[in-house]
């Protein structure tokens, strides 16, 4: 009877619950691969948004142990927690979201390097005591960054000579579309800036930028998603390993008869007998409701497609192919090597799946 649970090995273990398994060894290997690909450029790690949801407090130190000497986060608060997590290990921590004078004390306390994004921030920094900073120049994404012409003008006038400028950077808008004309245009415009700032290390490439080729890599690359096993360029093969998988328990098995429907709204109806596995994972955990069309979990070598709507704590999978093998309490796997397929089914990109992972998982770090 498929509805009977299998004998469990450890009767003292807690009830089966969703787990997030994060492979620090795979993260380190992805970083090492990025170093090979970027050389002779150095590789700084982007660990904003809690290392794309996976835990900057664990991933920062793991990357530092792999030789990473520079990190990027979005806010000074993120920088402060990273500094604490690094426990005295030396590393530069850059703050993408700009120099805000109200953060000056925080920056000094945690020894953080602001990334200046606008001319007024440069003036504010000049007016205070000398402090190391990076300069973000906009070369066409029109997101953050000081205007290229204004920066060129100041650089040619020697305005940075008495300042502690540690890095000049820009950000690519279309690196994940290798044929896009903006890639060449941004590289050329950035190259002109770096020529006007001799001796200042330069950084342009995110993960996809690293894959574009040597002319985009300059002195320092800034990958994020590739470290976390996501595809830099959608649909293209890449050398990075999956680093995160979800394991969620089968809570109940049920037989469906022709004409039975599944879940809220009865949006899925079967026309043949099927075995349904109700799994303890829902949109509260970051399994998008949109994943109902095309999303699946894995059990052993079976793919179990989602049937009907994803609810807050539960999702129902078609386990017909696994009948006889699968039992209540067994763990179904999501993400892992299927991360891009799950993102596509969810109508989004792997980045968003990662940062939306819920707070309910037991998080297990392996290979630390
Ligand atoms: C997030 C971010 C990165 C990292 O991008 P990936 O695509 O994850 O490699 C690099 N630079 C800037 C400015 C960013 O905002």
Q: Tens digits of per-residue pLDDT, 21-71?
A: 999 999 999 999 999 999 999 999 999 999 999 999 999 999 999 999 999
Digit-coded pLDDT (tens) for 96-109: 999 999 999 999 99
Show Cβ contacts of residue 17 under 8 Å, excluding neighbours closer than 6 positions: 249, 280, 362
Report pLDDT for 4: 56
Residue 74 CA: nearest ligand 1 atom is 15
Report pLDDT for 14: 85
- Is beta strand 92-95 parallel, antiparallel or unpaired with respect to 19-23? unpaired
Compute, in angstroms, the gap from residue 337 CA to the centroid of ligand 1.
22
Ligand 1 is surrounded, with C-beta below 6 A, by 46, 48, 96, 171, 206-208, 222-225
In this structure, which residue's CA is closest to atom 3 in ligand 1? 206
Report pLDDT for 6: 59
Q: Say whether pLDDT at 324 is over 90.
A: yes
Active-site residues: which are they?
Answer: 48, 264
pTM of structure: 0.95
Residue 136 CA: nearest ligand 1 atom is 13
Compute, in angstroms, the gap from residue 89 CA to the centroid of ligand 1.
23
Residue 225 CA: nearest ligand 1 atom is 8
69 vs 66: CA distance, rounded Å: 9
Q: Say whether pLDDT at 1 is over 50.
A: no
Termini Cα distance of the chain: 41
- Any idea which of 7-16, 221-230, 284-293, 308-317 has the lowest mean pLDDT? 7-16
State CA 114 to chain mean position distance: 21
Q: What is the pLDDT averaged over residues 194-200?
A: 96
> In order of start, what are the domains of the chain with their CATH numbers?
2-20+242-366 (2.40.37.10), 25-221 (3.20.20.10)
In this structure, which residue's CA is closest to atom 10 in ligand 1? 206
Substitution site in 72, 227, 234 for ligand 1 pocket (most atoms within 8 Å of beta carbon) = 72
Q: Say whether pLDDT at 146 is over 50.
A: yes
Q: Which pLDDT band holds residue 128 (cuts at 50, 70, 90)?
A: confident
Q: What is the pLDDT averaged over residues 295-308?
A: 97
């Amino acid at each position: 009877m498929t509805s009977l649970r299998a004998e469990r090995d450890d009767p003292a273990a807690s009830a089966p619950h969703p787990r997030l398994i994060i492979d620090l060894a795979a993260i380190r290997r992805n970083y090492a691969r990025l170093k090979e690909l970027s050389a002779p450029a150095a590789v700084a790690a982007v660990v904003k948004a809690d290392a794309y949801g996976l835990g900057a407090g664990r991933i920062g130190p793991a990357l530092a142990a792999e030789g990473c000497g520079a990190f990027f986060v979005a806010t000074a608060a993120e920088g402060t927690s990273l500094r604490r997590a690094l426990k005295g290990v030396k590393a530069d921590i850059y703050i993408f979201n700009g120099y805000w004078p109200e953060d000056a004390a925080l920056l000094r306390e945690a020894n953080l390097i602001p990334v200046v994004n606008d001319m007024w921030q440069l003036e504010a920094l000049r007016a205070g005591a000398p402090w190391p900073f990076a300069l973000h120049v906009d070369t066409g994404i029109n997101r953050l960054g000081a205007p290229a012409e204004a920066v060129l003008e100041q650089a040619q006038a020697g305005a940075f000579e008495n300042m502690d400028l540690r890095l000049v950077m820009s950000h690519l808008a279309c690196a994940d579309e290798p044929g896009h004309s903006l890639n060449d245009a941004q590289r050329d415009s950035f190259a002109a800036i770096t020529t006007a700032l001799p001796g200042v290390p330069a950084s342009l490439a995110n993960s996809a930028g690293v894959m574009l080729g040597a002319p985009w890599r300059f002195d320092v690359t800034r990958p994020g998603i590739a470290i976390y096993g996501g595809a830099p360029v959608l649909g293209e093969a890449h050398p990075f390993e999956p680093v995160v998988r979800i394991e969620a328990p089968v809570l109940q098995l049920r037989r469906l008869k022709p004409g039975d429907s599944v879940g809220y709204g009865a949006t899925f109806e079967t026309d043949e007998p099927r075995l349904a596995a109700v799994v303890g994972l829902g949109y509260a955990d970051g399994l998008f409701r949109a994943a109902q069309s095309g999303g699946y979990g894995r059990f052993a070598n079976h793919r179990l497609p989602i049937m009907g709507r994803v609810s807050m704590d539960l999702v129902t999978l078609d386990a017909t192919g696994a009948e006889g093998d699968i039992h209540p309490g067994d763990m179904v796997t999501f993400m892992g090597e299927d991360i891009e397929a799950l993102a596509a089914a969810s109508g989004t990109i792997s980045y968003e799946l990662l940062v939306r992972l819920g707070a309910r998982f037991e998080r297990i770090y392996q290979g630390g």
